[in-house]
Structure 1
Amino acid sequence: MTPSHSLQRLSAQPMTRENFQPYGQFITPSTDSKPYGNDDAQLDLSNGTPRFYIMRLQQRGRTFHTITRHQRCTQCLGSLEGKDWLIAVSPPSESNRPDLEQMKAFRIPGNGFIKLARGTWHAGPYFDHEAVDFYNLELSDTNEIDYFTHNFREIEGLTFEIL
């Protein structure tokens, strides 16, 4: 870090439905015969064509200086092969800046997935593994027209590390 940049550390919290609620939903396994309910992912993919794909990420580490949001849809992310992973989030806001006071990091266990609410700021997935495959549900054009990124390093002189 140069003198004009500082490193802030975020401790990854264990994931629960309750502590992730300001950012979206944490979804865990349920029985096949369970009727649809509030514990199921409450999706909003109505603004385009849904895209469900597997993305392979390699050597992500735990540091970041950008955070992104998608305002046209919800997004679901989960790892394959039961691998735990990390994400930093800040709740949806009207501002073009994430709320640093409400930014948190979470450790997502490999047997669940997250649904990010529309507009939730997110940095990640991050992990210590060599590579992790993730399934991703969003819109087919999310990465082209609904991808707003805030650069902490350029604007606030900040870089973050998830512990």
Structure 2
Amino acid sequence: MTTSQTVQQLSAQWITPENFRRYGQVIFPSADGKAFDAEDAQLNLQNGTPRFYIMRLQKRGRNFHKITRHVQCTQCLGSLEGKDWLIAVCPPENDLDTPVLAEIAAFRIPGNCFIKLNQGTWHAGPYFDHEFVDFYNLELADTNVVDHFTHDFLKSHQLKFEMV
């Protein structure tokens, strides 16, 4: 018996602080010396050792079927060299073990800002059309070992996504 797969297109909208608020924050450049305020990343890295590193990703494209979340910390992602990129997110419904399919949204992020994902925000990405992109990533040292919860829509719904 063959199971058919569906590809659902997600229209990626340009990210703004307002349209991304349910999932986290968008951080744009600010003047040196500006006092800390609500426009700065509101981080939670208290549950372990922070890890700030650069990850090189190659040929990611725009398709996915898995989405992940981290419940013990916030996570910050941003591209280097001004390259734009894409991410799909779903609100952090912490009492649910699965993301709410109808609430998945896709965003296009310009290379002049970074995002901070709220604790528990489901995310798929970064994705991009470039040959490769270097990303800085701020999370905990063991996030991908002890705080990495993934849902596979291909297994649960025979569903893949394409960000357009």
Work out the CA distance in 2 between the residues paired with 1:3 and 1:153.
Answer: 10
Matched letter for residue 124 of structure 1: G
Q: Contact conserved, 2:58 with 2:133, CA < 8 A, in 1?
A: yes
Deviating above 3 A after TM superposition, structure 1's stretches of 4 or more consecutive aligned residues are none
Aligned to 1:162: 163
Aligned to 2:80: 80
Work out the CA distance in 1 between the residues paired with 2:33 and 2:17.
Answer: 21
Q: Contact conserved, 2:3 with 2:158, CA < 8 A, in 1?
A: no
Aligned to 1:9: 9
The percentage of counterpart residues that share the same residue type is: 67
TM-score (norm 1): 0.98
Aligned to 1:115: 116
Aligned to 2:100: 99
Aligned to 1:55: 55
Work out the CA distance in 2 between the residues paired with 1:62 and 1:4.
Answer: 20
Aligned to 1:35: 35
Displacement of 1:89 after TM fit? 0.1
- What does residue range 19-30 of structure 1 map to in structure 2 within 5 Å? 19-30=19-30
Matched letter for residue 8 of structure 2: Q
Work out the CA distance in 2 between the residues paired with 1:91 and 1:37.
Answer: 23
Work out the CA distance in 2 between the residues paired with 1:96 and 1:16.
Answer: 28
Work out the CA distance in 1 between the residues paired with 2:38 and 2:77.
Answer: 18
Matched letter for residue 132 of structure 1: V
Work out the CA distance in 2 between the residues paired with 1:135 and 1:151.
Answer: 25
For residue 9 of structure 2, give the secondary structure of its aligned residue in structure 1: strand
Displacement of 1:68 after TM fit? 0.1
Displacement of 1:3 after TM fit? 5.3
Displacement of 1:78 after TM fit? 0.1
For residue 154 of structure 1, give the secondary structure of its aligned residue in structure 2: helix
Work out the CA distance in 1 between the residues paired with 2:33 and 2:52.
Answer: 24
Aligned to 1:148: 149
TM-score (norm 2): 0.97
Matched letter for residue 13 of structure 1: Q
| Structure 2 gaps, min length 5 | none
Displacement of 1:4 after TM fit? 1.9
Matched letter for residue 22 of structure 2: P
Cα deviation, 1:107-156, whole Å, max 9, x if unaligned, reads 00000000000000000000000000000000000000000000000111
